[in-house]
Amino acid sequence: MISTINICGNEYQYSTSFGFMLKYKSQFKEDVAGIIIYAVSASQTDETGLAAIAKIGFVNIARIAWSCIAVCDKTIEPFDKWIEKFDEFPVLQVATEMLPNIFSSLSSKKK
């Protein structure tokens, strides 16, 4: 699924397709699946979603956001350069907008 998110006044298209997981692994040399599965299990018992965000960690949320955006924007700067552009990075906003789309994209759909 391709969506748009506004981060600090900048509009970014992002994809929650499986491709973001490959991008994450390629860039950060680790599999994001464990992080996502952990977050999904936390979100099942947490109405606010804050436990899932805390379990993922702020840096991983920023990395996930970058990876989802990088699938759509082939000209995006490397993660460290991209994240340094922000005076503030709204981790909670990014997580609450992107994580439900990621969870939805990765869940199985019955026909």
Q: What is the mean pLDDT of each successive set of 10 residues along the chain, which is 111 residues long?
A: 94 94 95 82 65 82 97 96 95 89 76 54
> What is the rounded distance in angstroms from the CA atom of residue 104 to the CA atom of residue 102?
5
Q: Residue 111's pLDDT is what? A: 54
Residue-level pLDDT at 88: 93
Going by C-alpha positions, the residue among 84, 60, 70, 58 that lies closest to residue 12 is 70
Amino acid at 100: P
Contacts of 51 (CB under 8 A, 6+ apart): 42, 43, 45
Q: What's the pLDDT at 73? A: 97
- pLDDT of amino acid 52: 72
How far is it, in rounded angstroms, from Cα 87 to Cα 92?
A: 15
CB atoms within 10 A of CB 58: 14
Q: What is the pLDDT of residue 45?
A: 64
